[in-house]
Amino acid sequence: MDGLNSLLEWFVANEAALSGVAATVVILGFVASPLGAGLRGLVRRWALSSSGIVEASVTEAPASDVPPPPEPETDRPSIAVLPFVSSSDDKDSEIFADGMTNDIITALGHVPGFFITSGNSTFVYKAQSVDTRQIGRDLGVRYVVEGRVQRAGSEIRINATLVEARTGEQIWSERFSGDLSDIFALQDQIVQSIVGQLQPELMQAEWRRGGRTPTANLDAWTLLHSARMQFHLGHSRETVEEAIQLATAALEKDPDYAEAHGLLTEAYSYWVMIRWSDDPEGDDERCAYHCRRALELGPNNPIVLFGAALQNAYKGQLETALAQIEQCCAINPNDAFAQSFRGWILASVGRGEEGIDAIDLAFRLSPRDPRTYFLLNMRGYVYLYLGRHSEAGQAYRQSLNLYDGFFWAQIGYVVCLAMQGQMGEAKSALAEVKKGAPEFELRDWEGFLKINTGNPTGERGALIERQVECLRDIWPS
């Protein structure tokens, strides 16, 4: 604990010098949230289940790597939910408020007709005093939601405010209170009240039909928040392994928690594909089990559908994967991560131009996302499958500027260099790939590429063959 405090004190003392270079994401308590200051170079995490710090190192990104703010939506209400402020000074209450903010963002994202900015972009403003009018301009939204959370024993009180971003005028403010066991009902009340201010009764009815309580167990809920942040903000061997442990712990609290099964489907798919697993057959079976169980428990849950789509894509079941990710995005159209994955699958089935549109939408949904490295990586693969290697290479390079250890961007960048005849640079880049995934072989890349494009024939098939063969002479034996 002393080491963590010293590290944070050093960061605060040097924040001015590090502006634009480093962000800090701290996971304390059971709930994890991005507490950083945007797209900066160093992501630090503290996993509650251990006493050490898990770090993922990245480098400073050029300004050109960060997409410009989106144009304001003109045809539907666009909303940014800022991190709710805890009235208490203790970290547990602060993290609880962050988890509540994320759930409200997710719930609003399910409401038809709304454009909701990703929480990964709005958490940039955590603990900052920024005029709501400036936030509206930064994120391209009409409305901003602010809130404050106060906990006292088992009692909780939430104050929420809806502000018009253009003028800074308060449209609505309300206080909600109840027992901690009623937290999900209180979240539903907040969302329904916001919807009621911006849309007619029909919209409220749509929200009520889509309402859900993910679990009745608060410990399971908080553990899963930690797991999701570990997985989605890291994609390193350490963070994926930590996510699996936390999601498994959530299932020990609630074995029927569909979203925990869904996240484990996603994590195990990733774990096996990169050959990080020491027991690939066993982990593959675990992945299949969690996928089946998740779909049994939550067939219309977007987290479940996302995990199932990922597993099916990695298995080459592309039409099934596409149907699942389309359903996921129909239920929650404001999920930038899911939209980027949808773009990749569209490109995998030969609909690359539609894939580009989906990637562009992902950037509009979350213009200041700490996971921009992932969105750029997905853009790279869409271009790669189209044979546009210069554009793909640029996307991969931008991704690696944000997170230099991201495996899928590394291997994609190697292919683009080789396909453009830059063999010396490709060989050096391949050495970095092998450092992070020493067990990953050329046959694994060939299998991934062919399976995830449906083993195409004709011109697409010939392109895939070239994207494998270009590495044969430089791949270490």
**Does residue 282 form part of some domain?**
no
Q: What is the pTM of this model?
A: 0.65
pLDDT confidence of residue 108: 78
The pLDDT of 58-69, averaged and rounded, is: 46
Q: What is the pLDDT of residues 393-447, one digit of tens each?
A: 999 999 999 999 899 999 999 999 999 999 999 999 999 999 988 999 999 999 9
pLDDT at 114 over 80: no
Mean pLDDT of 186-194: 73
Q: What is the mean pLDDT of residues 61-90?
A: 66
Tokens of residue 229, six digits: 């942040």
Is residue 301 one of the residues assigned to a domain?
no
Query: pLDDT value at position 328?
Result: 93
Looking at the fold, whether 58 and 174 belong to one and the same domain comes out as no
Q: How sure is the predictor about 290, in pLDDT bands with cuts at 50, 70 and 90?
A: very high
340 found inside a domain: no
Range of the domain at 47: 2-65
Assigned domain for 434 exists: yes
Helix, coil or strand: residue 262:
helix
**Choice among 101-105, 108-112, 193-197, 378-382 with the minimum mean pLDDT:** 193-197
Q: Report the run of H or E that residue 86 belongs to, with start and end.
A: strand 85-86
| Among candidate residues 143, 195, 139, the one with its CA nearest the CA of residue 164 | 143
Residues 174 and 200 in one domain: yes
Query: Higher-confidence residue: 155 or 66?
Result: 155
- Are residue 121 and residue 54 in the same domain, yes or no? no
pLDDT value of position 16: 37
Same-domain pairing of 119 and 160: yes
Q: Does residue 164 belong to any structural domain of this protein?
A: yes
Angstrom distance (rounded) from CA 418 to CA 426: 6
Kindly state whether residues 91 and 201 are assigned to the same domain: yes
Asked if the model's pLDDT at residue 283 lies above 90, the reply is yes
* pLDDT level of residue 67 (50, 70, 90 thresholds): low
pLDDT of 123 reads 84
Residues 58 and 177 both lie in one domain: no
pLDDT of residue 396: 97
More confident residue, 418 or 237: 418
**What pLDDT score does 71 carry?**
52
pLDDT-above-90 percentage for the chain: 41
- The answer on 123 and 97 residing in a single domain is yes
Residue 465 near residue 449, CB atoms below 8 Å:
no
Distance in angstroms (rounded) separating the CA atoms of residues 37 and 335: 21
How far is it, in rounded angstroms, from Cα 324 to Cα 37? Answer: 34
Asked if the model's pLDDT at residue 157 lies above 90, the reply is no
Q: How many domains does the chain have?
A: 3
Whole-angstrom Cα Rg for the chain: 22
pLDDT of 275 above 80: yes
391 with 469, same domain: the answer is yes
> What CA–CA distances, in Å, run from 164 to 84, 142, 307?
17, 6, 36
Checking if the pLDDT of 253 tops 90, the result is yes
One domain, residues 394 and 453: yes
189 and 176 in contact (C-beta within 8 Å)?
Answer: yes
Domain-terminating residue out of 34, 65, 96: 65
Helix (H) or strand (E) holding 46: strand 42-46
pLDDT at residue 385 in the model: 96
What's the average model confidence in pLDDT over 74-89?
79
Higher pLDDT, 95 or 14: 95
Query: Average pLDDT for residues 279-297, to the nearest whole number?
Result: 95
Mutual angle of helices 302-314 and 280-297, in 10-degree steps: 140
Dihedral sign of CA atoms 114, 169, 194, 302 in order: positive
Q: Which of 190, 191, 266, 257 is nearest to 223 (CA)?
A: 257
pLDDT surpasses 70 at 99: yes
φ and ψ at residue 461, rounded to 5 degrees: -65, -40
Residue bearing the bigger pLDDT, 11 or 224: 224
Rounded mean pLDDT, 133-146: 88
- Residue 366 included in any domain: no
CATH number for 393? 1.25.40.10
Helices (H), 111-182: 119-122, 132-139
Q: Are residues 124 and 179 in the same domain?
A: yes
Query: Domain for residue 414, yes or no?
Result: yes
Could you tell me how far CA 155 lies from the centroid of its own chain? 31
Asked if the structure places residue 269 within a domain, the reply is: no
On the question of pLDDT at 334 being above 60, the answer is: yes
* pLDDT at 84 exceeding the cut of 50: yes
pLDDT for the residue numbered 187: 75
Comparing 158 with 26, which gets the higher pLDDT? 158
Comparison of pLDDT for 356 and 133, the residue scoring more:
356
* pLDDT surpasses 50 at 231: yes
pLDDT band for position 153 (50/70/90)? confident
Which of 18, 35, 65 represents a domain boundary (last residue)? 65
> 223 or 249: whose pLDDT is higher?
249
Q: Give the Cα separation of 274 and 271 in Å (integer).
A: 6
- What pLDDT score does 298 carry? 93
| pLDDT tens-digit series, residues 447-466 | 999 998 998 999 999 999 99
What's the rounded Cα separation, in Å, for the pair 109 and 14? Answer: 37
- Tell me the CA end-to-end span of the chain in Å, nearest whole number: 44
For residue 287, report the phi and psi dihedrals to the nearest 5 degrees: -60, -45
- The arithmetic mean of pLDDT across residues 180-201, rounded, is 67
Whether pLDDT at 144 is above 50: yes
| CATH code for the domain of 95 | 3.40.50.10610
Longest dimension (CA), the chain: 66
Q: What is the pLDDT confidence band of residue 109, given thresholds at 50, 70 and 90?
A: confident
Could you tell me if 88 and 59 lie in one domain?
no
Q: What is the mean pLDDT of the chain?
A: 79
| CB contact at 8 A, 166 and 141 | no
Structural tokens at position 261: 């099964």
Would you state the pLDDT for residue 355?
A: 97
Confidence of residue 213 (pLDDT cuts 50, 70, 90): low
Final residue before a domain boundary, out of 184, 210, 236: 210
Task: Report how far residue 292's alpha carbon sits from residue 307's, in angstroms, rounded to the nearest whole number.
Answer: 11
Length, in residues, of the chain: 477
Q: Is the pLDDT of residue 222 over 90?
A: no
What local confidence, expressed as pLDDT, does residue 473 receive? 92
Query: What does 274-330 look like in DSSP terms, one character per residue?
Result: TT--SSHHHHHHHHHHHHHHHHHH-TT-HHHHHHHHHHHHHTT-HHHHHHHHHHHHH
Cα 416 from Cα 448, distance rounded (Å): 16
| CB neighbourhood size of 365 (10 A) | 25
Judge if 61 and 82 occupy the same domain: no
Residue 371 has pLDDT above 60, yes or no: yes
